[in-house]
Structure 1
Amino acid sequence: GVFISEVVKGGIAESDARPHLMVGDQILEVNGEDLRDAPQSHAAAILKTTSGKINLKVGRLKAGSRHSNSENLSTSKSDEMSTDEPLQQKVIVLERRSEGLGFSIVGGYGSPHGNLPICVKNVFERGAAAQDGQLKRGDILLSFSVSTDDQNWSTTELDGLTHEEAVEVLKAITGTVKLTVLTN
C-alpha cells in the first residue's frame, strides 16, 4: 500500500476545509483508480500528472479502533461527503519454515516518515505466507501470538515498536504463529 509520509504546510491538502490528510493515511484511490496494491512510484506518477479536481480516497486507522476512516478529499470544495469503509480484522496462522515467514515489513514508530503502522511490504514467492495465500501487501500487522504450550499463547502487540524492533521480534518466531492483521 501507499502511505502519506508528509503533508506540506500551506498546501491544498492542509488548507482544505474538511478533515486534513495525516501522516500514516493510506491512499486507497485517486480519481477512482484503486491503488491498494500499487507501488509507490505508480501512485506518485498519477498524483504528479493529474490536474484540476483530484478525488482521493484514504484509509485512516483511528487510535483505539480496528477500522479505518475513508474520506473523499479534493481540490474542489464541492464533492462527496465522508464515507466509512471498514478494514477487516483477520487472524492468519502460519508455520515458520526454514526460509522464514515469507514476508517483509515497512513502517514503525519513529520511522523517517513519522509514526506508521507496521505493514506488509512484500510477500515472497517462497515461504509460509505465500503458501498460505492470505497475507498480502499493505496488510497492517497488529499483533502476533506464539504457542507457549499445547493450550496457551503469548501475544505481542506491534503498535509502538520501531521498524527494527518489529523485524527482530518477527525473526525470533519459531513454530506456529497467529498474525492479527487489518486487511481490505
Structure 2
Amino acid sequence: MSPIQEFDDIHVVVLHKEENAGLGFSLAGGLDLENKAITVHRVFPSGLTSQEGTIQKGDKVLSINGKSLKGVTHNEALGILHMDVGGFIMSVTLEKSLAGLGFSLDGGKGSIHGDKPIVINRIFKGVSDKNDAVQPGDELLQLGNISLQGLTRFEAWTAIKTLPSGPVQAVIKRSSNAGLVNQ
C-alpha cells in the first residue's frame, strides 16, 4: 500500500495561479519552528484559495507542485510556495533601528493600482548596511514570523512597527531580471 492510500483525508487541489499573483494563503510551521508540520496559517478572503474553497486554515500541506514539504524549514516551505518563473526567493537578515527598516513600501491589498504584493519602494541611506541586501522592486513576503501576503500597506507597516529593534529575518522575492546589489 502506498503512503497516500493510508489516508482518506488527503486531497489534491489544483489552483490556476495568475502571473504576479499569489495562491491566496500563508503557511505556518516548519522543521525550525518546534518541528511542526507545514500547515495553512491563513486563507486570504479575496484570494484564489478562498474562491476555490477546498483549502482551510489548519490543513497540513504535504507538497506543492510535486515538491514535498516533509522535514523542510519554514523559509524552505515559503520558497516552494512562492516558486515563480519570473523571480527567485531568498532569505536576508535586515537590521531594524529606531528609524525602522530603512525603506518605504508600495502596493498591498487595496492599493491605488488594485491588489498588489507589498514591494520595497525606496531605500533610505544610512539606516543600516545590512539593509543593502534588499533593493527597490523586491517583493516583501515575510518579516520574522509575520507573513505580509494579502495585507494592505498600512497593515504591513503596522507589522513592521511591532518588530523589536535588532536583526530581522526577511523573505523576499526578486524579479529574475533585476540586478543584484553588493554581490
Computing the radius of gyration over CA atoms, which structure comes out larger, 1 or 2? 1
Q: TM-score, normalised by structure 1?
A: 0.49
Q: TM-score, normalised by structure 2?
A: 0.49
